[in-house]
């Protein structure tokens, strides 16, 4: 997960006899993209065509679907520009430039802690981001990024695309073939790909793009992935990892498992319900499987012992020397005690601030309006991070989205999550009493969803634009958001001041101590910023069995059994005879990827695209904490499988040609 400016070139040369040129790097860096929703992507034609995973655009497809047009089940195929449909909530960012701002940030933060630290960081990063966007936040998305846990700060400048249109997405039955049973497993047989197109002023943008290779990747071949791994915790202390396991992963597993049960059963109630539940169920399944994998990884005694020994050695190195002790203190002890504080407040934080108690898009809108109108009036650096100038375009895009809302579903989710709120804080908690009054959670949800007008984008826009209008509103969802806001802000502030800031300062001390002892030469933990990973196409050994690196179409047809999630869509059944059964379908590589890397292009030495990352194997879930090349694998779609599908299954030769030629 290397940043482009600090690659282990010597190691790459020694191991693979290859050193990417600066042109190679600049080209890949420009073509690589990220989705606001937390995925990676890349330009694949000069006419703004973008490749990513279908599971990264599920939300868009669900929003564009209607009872009459089920794009999730049937797929989406724009046969011509005029049929491309705009995704209501999508934003894609293209990295324009990065610069090192460590000195400027460090200067401001020096000696600060807690509240003061957070405000200092907000001030300096706000100023840097503002200067960088140069008054045009609609076009530029600038973000100060914390690398090496405060060891380095960088300013990332992105070109922002909010007019992104759906071009192609296959049926869920093939995009997600094997469903939850096969998720994080291999062999896999998924066409988990979607094509989008970025527009600017109603014209496709002219983009620097990755060429589509005309050949398959070969077993053992050196390949790169360029993408935006979300977060990793490889630099975390053991105390942080334990808190992650017990205070984050475990409660999330319980919460989302129950939610999964609700969604499964809701989805059985009818076709419309099934569609509504689908996108949510997919992502919930994913969270659960990934949390289970992480929980398992954190039980790996060998890795934990190695990690603990490493930590003990560094701590001894610091504490055994009076000068070092004076300089670094004992960050491990301070972090452990901050984790105690975290344990005490995390339930309340999650319920109120992370909205576990208020699972509802309408509530999210209400909170955005209540908070946003309050925050706007403050100086940029005094605002909550998500309402700083640099982020307002995203807020507005979300708030003014025309994506349809299903009131029954909103009511169900809000009612259910209010029972979770009551269970977590207790029926006698004063805030719970205020929110519920003498009503049941379901009644509160019904009244709020039936009574609100926030299902109308026009209403939300008016509230945002006219704060007088909102102030006199008697909208019941706004009322709930307002009721909760003070306490939600309070617990957030406690968390930020007493946990987050503390850990950040201490992590920085640990990072500095490590630099002082070992020098640099590692990569920073993932921060949803662009990274290059190198590896090779390679299977692995699972228990007693070799898992081969590739699957093919023949395997797909033999695994299909007519029943979801192993049911092929009619298009594939019809096309079977015309497909070469030996065509490679999916493959695995040793590239180091984690959540957020989905949609990363797999690139060869020539800088050409040979595949598309869409998953990791089950062992990749430990990748959040450590990388283990013996079993950790990225799972990717082969570029030739995509071409065959476009030409022979979907009858979209024009789109296949655009990929091959690099323009339409």
Question: What does the binding site for a second copy look like in residue numbers (CB under 8 A)?
Answer: 178, 180-182, 185, 246, 250, 253-255, 257-266, 269, 288, 292, 295, 299, 343, 416, 419, 422-423, 426-427, 438-440, 443, 561-564, 566
Q: Which is nearer to a second copy, 38 or 178 (CB)?
A: 178
Peptide linkage before 187 cis (omega within 30 of 0): yes
What is the smallest separation between the CB atom of 38 and a second copy, expressed in angstroms?
23
CB of 340 to a second copy, least distance (A): 9
As measured in angstroms, the least distance from the Cβ of 171 to a second copy is 17
Q: Residue 367 or 422: which CB sits closer to a second copy? A: 422
How many CA atoms within 13 Å lie on the side-chain side of 314? 24
Angle between helices 441-451 and 361-376 (to 10 degrees): 70
User: Across the strands, what pairs with 159?
Assistant: 94, 140
Q: Cβ of residue 491: shortest distance to a second copy, in angstroms?
A: 16
Distance in Å, CB of 286 to a second copy, minimum: 13
Mark 524-541 as b/e (b = at least 16 C-beta within 10 Å).
Answer: bbbbbbbbbbbbbbbbbe
Residue 274 zone, left/alpha/beta (φ > 0; ψ -120 to 50; rest): alpha
Token digits of residue 306: 């190695």
Please list, in sequence order, all residues whose beta carbon lies within 8 angstroms of the beta carbon of residue 40, skipping any fewer than 6 positions away. Answer: 32, 33, 34, 52, 226, 227, 228, 596, 597, 598, 599, 600, 601, 613
Judged by CB, which is closer to a second copy: 127, or 567?
A: 567
Q: How far is the CB of 643 from a second copy (least distance, A)?
A: 28
Helix (H/G/I), strand (E/B), else coil: 259: helix
CB of 449 to a second copy, least distance (A): 16
**Pick 253 or 483: Cβ nearer a second copy:** 253
**Least spacing, CB of residue 280 vs a second copy, in Å:** 12
- Rg of the chain in Å (alpha carbons): 25
DSSP letters along 320-378, please? TSHHHHHHH--HHHHHHHHHHHHHHHHHHIIIIIS-TT---HHHHHHHHHHHHHHHHTS
Cβ at position 422, least distance to a second copy in Å: 5
Rounded to an integer, what distance in angstroms lies between the CA atom of residue 596 and that of residue 232? 10
* Nearest CB to a second copy, comparing residues 99 and 265: 265
Q: Which is nearer to a second copy, 26 or 250 (CB)?
A: 250
- Shortest distance, position 490 Cβ to a second copy, whole Å: 17
Residue closer to a second copy (CB basis): 32 or 412: 412
Query: Which is closer to a second copy, CB of 199 or CB of 255?
Result: 255
Distance of CA 67 to the CA centre of its chain: 28
Q: Exposed (0-12), middle (13-18) or buried (19+): which is 64, by Cβ within 10 Å? A: buried
Q: Which is nearer to a second copy, 383 or 633 (CB)?
A: 633
Give the integer Cα–Cα distance in Å for 261 and 435.
25
Query: Residue 227, SS3?
Result: strand
Name which of 302 and 474 has its Cβ closer to a second copy: 302
Closer to a second copy by Cβ: residue 273 or 597: 273
Contact (Cβ atoms closer than 8 angstroms) between residue 559 and residue 189: yes
**Nearest distance from C-beta of residue 71 to a second copy, angstroms:** 23
Would you say 252 and 243 are in contact if contact means Cβ atoms under 8 Å apart?
A: no
Q: State whether residue 88 is helix, strand or coil.
A: coil
């Amino acid at each position: 997960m290397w940043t482009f400016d600090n690659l282990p070139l010597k190691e790459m040369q020694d191991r693979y006899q290859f050193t990417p040129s600066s042109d190679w790097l600049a080209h890949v860096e420009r073509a690589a993209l990220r989705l606001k929703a937390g995925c990676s992507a890349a330009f694949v034609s000069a006419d703004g065509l973008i490749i990513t995973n279908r599971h990264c655009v599920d939300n868009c497809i669900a929003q564009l679907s209607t009872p009459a047009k089920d794009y999730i089940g049937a797929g989406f195929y724009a046969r011509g520009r005029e049929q491309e449909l705009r995704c209501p909530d999508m934003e894609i960012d293209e990295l324009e430039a990065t610069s090192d701002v460590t000195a400027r940030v460090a200067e401001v933060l020096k000696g600060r802690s807690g509240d003061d630290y957070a405000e200092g960081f907000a001030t300096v990063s706000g100023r840097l981001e503002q200067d960088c966007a140069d008054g045009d936040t609609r076009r530029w998305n600038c973000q100060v990024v914390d690398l090496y846990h405060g060891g380095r700060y960088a300013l990332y400048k992105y070109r922002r695309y909010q007019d992104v249109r759906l071009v192609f997405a296959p049926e869920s039955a093939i995009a997600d073939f094997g469903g939850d049973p096969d998720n994080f497993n291999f062999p896999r047989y998924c066409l988990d790909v979607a094509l989008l197109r970025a527009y600017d002023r109603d014209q496709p943008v002219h983009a620097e793009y990755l060429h589509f290779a005309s050949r398959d990747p070969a077993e053992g071949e050196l390949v790169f992935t360029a993408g935006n791994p979300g977060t990793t915790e490889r630099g975390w202390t053991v105390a942080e990892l334990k808190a992650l396991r017990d205070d984050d992963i475990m409660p999330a597993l319980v919460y989302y498992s129950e939610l999964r049960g609700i969604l499964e059963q809701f989805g059985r109630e009818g076709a419309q319900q099934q569609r509504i539940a689908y996108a949510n169920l997919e992502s919930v399944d994913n969270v659960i499987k990934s949390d289970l994998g992480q929980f398992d990884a954190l039980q790996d005694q060998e890795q934990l012992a190695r990690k603990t020994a490493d930590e003990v050695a560094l701590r001894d190195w610091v504490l055994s020397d009076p000068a070092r002790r004076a300089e670094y203190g004992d960050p491990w002890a301070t972090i452990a005690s901050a984790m105690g504080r975290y344990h005490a407040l995390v339930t309340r934080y999650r319920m109120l601030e992370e909205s576990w108690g208020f699972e509802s898009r309408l509530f999210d809108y209400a909170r955005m309006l209540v908070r946003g109108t309050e925050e706007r009036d403050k100086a940029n650096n005094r605002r909550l991070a998500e309402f700083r100038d640099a982020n307002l375009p995203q807020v507005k895009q979300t708030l003014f989205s025309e994506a349809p809302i299903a009131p029954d579903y909103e009511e169900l989710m809000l009612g259910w999550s209010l029972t979770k709120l009551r269970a977590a804080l207790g029926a006698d908690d004063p805030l719970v009493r205020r929110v519920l009054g003498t009503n049941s959670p379901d009644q509160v949800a019904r009244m709020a969803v039936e009574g609100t007008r926030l299902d109308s984008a026009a209403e939300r826009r008016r509230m945002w634009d006219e704060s007088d209008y909102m102030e006199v509103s008697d909208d019941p969802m706004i009322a709930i958001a307002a009721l909760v806001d003070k306490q939600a802000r309070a617990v957030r502030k406690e968390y930020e001041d007493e946990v987050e800031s503390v850990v950040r300062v201490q992590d920085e001390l640990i990072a500095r101590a490590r630099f002082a002892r070992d020098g640099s030469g590692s990569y920073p933990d993932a921060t949803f910023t662009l990274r290059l990973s190198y590896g090779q196409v390679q299977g692995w050994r699972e228990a007693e069995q070799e898992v081969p690196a590739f699957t093919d179409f023949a395997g797909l047809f033999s695994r299909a059994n007519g029943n979801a999630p192993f049911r092929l869509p009619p298009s594939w059944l019809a096309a079977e005879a015309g497909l070469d059964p030996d065509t490679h379908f999916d493959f695995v590589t040793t590239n180091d990827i984690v959540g957020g890397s989905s949609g990363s292009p797999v690139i060869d030495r020539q800088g050409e695209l040979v595949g598309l990352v869409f998953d990791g194997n089950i062992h990749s879930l430990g990748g959040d904490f450590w990388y283990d090349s013996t079993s950790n694998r990225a799972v990717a779609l082969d570029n030739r499988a995509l071409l065959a599908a476009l030409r022979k299954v979907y009858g979209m030769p024009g789109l296949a040609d655009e990929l091959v030629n690099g323009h339409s």
